[in-house]
Structure 1
Amino acid sequence: MLKGRTAVVTGGSRGIGRAVVERLARDGANVVFNYAQRTEAAQDVVRSVEEAGGSVRAVRLDLAEHGAAEQLMDVAAQHFGDLDILVNNAALNFTVTPLAETDDDTFDRVMTVNARTTFLTLRYAARHMRDDGRIVSISSLNTVRPAPGNAPYAASKGAVEQLTLVAAQELGPRGITVNTVSPGATDTELLRGTNPPEVLETVAGMTPLRRLGEPADVADVVAFLAGPDGRWITGQNIRATGGIG
């Protein structure tokens, strides 16, 4: 379905990002993803994809550093050709902290990785993506159901959603679709690292399906939008939340 197409996934070594990398590769795409620190986790993703017959390349880059986003995109072009699919998944969120106690550095780093990186990769795609490409950015249910202590994260994801809307208008004439997927509570290290078990249990009970999401649940939605069946959907925010929101 995606054979011969080049895909870039930011933050692909674990959680939703890993599930997206594995799914796009399974569908035939040549996938490049970055990771910041966890070399062993990234190598495990590469091993998993290659054992399944897929094509993947991992690049160690901290997207908070100047020029890293563009470098990631250039690596993909050098190894697999021009960009066809972009998935903006990389995200930072720190421990739940009230506004009054949130320091400047935390705000700046969250906005840099979550919002600025999305802007930079979208700009690269606007300049270099082949016609009829696909862009999917991962947002969050927090933009419509804000929670205390998540101000920088929610603000950064709100920016991602607005960038998506503008890019969809600008790139649509070239057949490029641009969408957002907003997961609900998905069972990842990020979720468990910022929420106590009792909160996760409560959230799971709020969904009609009575469970947390799995990374593959979100990856399947991303794959639909990134594939040929998603050709008529653009400028949308798909809430993969298990029925919340």
Structure 2
Amino acid sequence: MTDLKNKVALITGSARGLGRAIAERFAGLGADIIINYSKDSFSANEAVVNIQALGVRVIAVQADISKPADIENLFAEAKKAFGKIDIVVANAGVELADVPVTDFTEEQFDRLFAINTKGTYFTIQCAAKNIEDNGRIINISSTSAAFPFPGFAVYGGSKTAPNYLVEVLAKEIGYRGVTVNSIVPYAVANAGIFTGMDTHTPELKWLSDMNPMKRMATVEDVSNAAVFFASNLSSFVSGQHLIVNGGGSQ
């Protein structure tokens, strides 16, 4: 079984949803955890309690990922608490669906690019500066960046640039044994805009119907990929984008 004991993992946007699922999965494999949240302190504290019950160390740090100064403080607090960082998952993001190119606003564009693009860029930059040798950097992308789809121009665009950054950084710090990869998931049930939603409703059932496996991705599907990239199993895999979409073309 994959073992993450004696590793320290920082996951942005991990108070709930996919980020929290990854944090709890890593904790279950023995990693100490830094939970990051922007506003939802209640969910962050709940995540901390759940992870403490797994017998590892955990802290929660508030940071707005759209602000580079907050990101720097997040990493500083993590190193202050644990002395090192071995794994970084750049997960924090916001979504925008079903907005045609002719309809998106400047406010929508600025918000998504501030968090999904700028925030991810500076998170990964901080990771490159602070991560231990032989560390793991993981970007959570989206199939919207791999398969253009109507209504997702802004969201998909904001998730595309970080994929390029992954490939560049893999070349720049590979000599340190650090791997840099992306996970590119299909729509994930009970995460992001689908958190708390019944995905079997007629309004959302089409997401399952159009997939070869006739379902949406789950947080477990993405967490499985995250464990692979966080562990020694992927020590010679870098600069890659793993599409987790059940074999679909979307």
TM category, shorter: over 0.9
Among residues 211, 227, 231, which one is paired with 2:231 in the alignment? 227
Name the residue aligned to 1:110.
112
Deviations 1:65-96 (A, max 9, x none): 34111111111111011221110000111353
Matches within 5 A, 1:1-245: 1-192=3-194, 197-245=201-249
Q: CA deviation at 1:126?
A: 2.2
Q: How many residues align?
A: 245
Question: Cα 1:118–1:66, aligned 2, differ >3 Å: closer, same or farther?
Answer: closer
CA contact (8 A) 2:141 2:163 kept: yes
Deviations 1:21-71 (A, max 9, x none): 001111111111211122221121111111122222111222223411111
Report the TM-score when normalising by structure 1: 0.93
Amino acid at match of 2:17: G
Structure 2 residue ranges without an equivalent (≥5): none
Structure 1 residue ranges without an equivalent (≥5): none
**Aligned partners of 2:167, 2:203: CA distance in 1, in Å?**
32
Q: CA deviation at 1:209?
A: 2.4
Counterpart secondary structure, 2:108: helix
RMSD: 1.9
- The runs of at least 4 consecutive aligned structure 1 residues that moved more than 6 Å come to 193-196
**Aligned partners of 1:96, 1:33: CA distance in 2, in Å?**
30
CA contact (8 A) 1:36 1:63 kept: yes
Q: CA deviation at 1:199?
A: 4.8
Q: CA deviation at 1:165?
A: 0.5
**Aligned partners of 1:48, 1:180: CA distance in 2, in Å?**
27
CA contact (8 A) 1:185 1:191 kept: no
Report the TM-score when normalising by structure 2: 0.91
Q: CA deviation at 1:117?
A: 1.6
**Aligned partners of 2:182, 2:153: CA distance in 1, in Å?**
20
Percent identical pairs in the alignment equals 33
